[in-house]
Amino acid sequence: MDNKPAAASGAILNQLMEIARISALAEMASGIAHELNQPLGAIATFAQAGERMLNRPDPLLAPALDVFRQISQEALGAGEGIRRIRSLFEYGATTRETCRMPEVIEELRPVLEMLALRAHGALQIVEAPPGLPDVPIDRLKVQHVLFALVQNAFDASAERAAEVAPRVRIEVTGDRYAVETSVFDSGTGVAAEIREQLFRPFFTTKARGTGLGLASSRAIIEAHEGTIGFELQPQDGSRFWFRLPAAAS
């Protein structure tokens, strides 16, 4: 079977995603700069004026007090500007439907297999046990989380590509209260000094990473009243997981 078309599709997908990430970051940076430059300039000007008013033999207390009020207003205005920027990137209320997690994963399988092909690795999706409860989720957002975790897993596994071909495994388990999805990689694990920072915005160990994948994944899962985390495996690699509450029976 000729894998060239699939490989080309995977490369195009990767390029499109990179452009989307860079564009989003550039737009956010531009908006933040616009919202902050003017009030910061005004604050600096007012602060200098206030210093001159107070740094004299007969301090001008009343005018200086007015200057401090202006500084306060500008600072509050800057804060409101940042809140407006954040609102553009917030996920908002989730639109949920009752889903079976194995079906959500299976629907995403072709895209995940593209990641495997691009990494020259193998993807295994373990058959879920019977009787798992449904979960009320925003399907696309949870699939975004799964995509981000699998992409990171292949990136981590690639660090040992000289020793072993990258391998990623997805497993779904659960009980009557929740369903847990796990993504296992064959990498070298997570260094102790970065474990506390993994889910923080803009933290990344990749040369061209944005540091938003895990942070946005955490935001999505927590918006679903779920939890997300990771743990090192006894041999090699890591397990990243997220747990979503079961639908009310």
Three-state DSSP state, 121: coil
Dist. CA 247–CA 11, nearest whole Å: 38
Dist. CA 142–CA 13, nearest whole Å: 19
Q: What is the pLDDT of residue 162?
A: 66
* Helical spans, DSSP H, in the chain: 4-54, 61-89, 101-118, 139-157, 213-223
pLDDT in tens, 106-162: 999 998 998 898 888 999 999 999 999 999 998 888 998 999 899 989 988 887 766
- The sign one gets for the Cα dihedral 21, 22, 23, 27 is positive
pLDDT in tens, 19-54: 656 656 666 666 677 677 888 888 888 888 888 889
Strand 135-137 to 122-125 pairing:
unpaired
Residue type, 193: E
Which residue pairs, CB below 8 angstroms and at least 24 apart, start in 1-10?
3/117, 6/114, 6/117, 7/117, 7/118, 9/114, 10/114, 10/115, 10/117, 10/118
**pLDDT of 88 over the 60 cut:** no
Tokens read off for 175: 């009980």
**What's the pTM value of the predicted model, to 2 decimals?**
0.65
- Angle, helices 4-54 vs 61-89, to 10°: value is 170
